Amino acid sequence: MAAIDKGVVVGRWQRKREIVIIQSDGEFTAKGPGKKLTSGTWIIKGDSLEFRSGGATRKFQMRKHLRSIYETASNERRAGMRSDYLRQK
């Protein structure tokens, strides 16, 4: 897939009990289960998105239809599993 357009990324994305709000100024806010809030910065790096918060980096890919982004788990227990975040209107 080609480089991702910033206009497609900005907005609200949801996965089960987690909501991620991506802002055009390079900031994001994520609300997980138990009202846990996380915030940080995001950048487009080629054909992927990188979210940075508190020294941790998470990498996401955009699906071809542009309606969802996904993260592929790398830890041993969940290796290879994908978590999809759907675009909300």
Q: What percent of the chain has pLDDT over 90?
A: 48
Contact between 41 and 50 (Cβ < 8 Å): no
pTM of the prediction? Answer: 0.82
Long-range pairs, 62-65, Cβ under 8 A, ≥24: 62/1, 62/4, 62/8, 62/9, 64/1
Structural fold of domain 6-88: Lipocalin (2.40.128)
Flag whether pLDDT at 1 surpasses 70: no
**Of 76 and 13, more confident:** 13
- pLDDT surpassing 90 at residue 29: yes
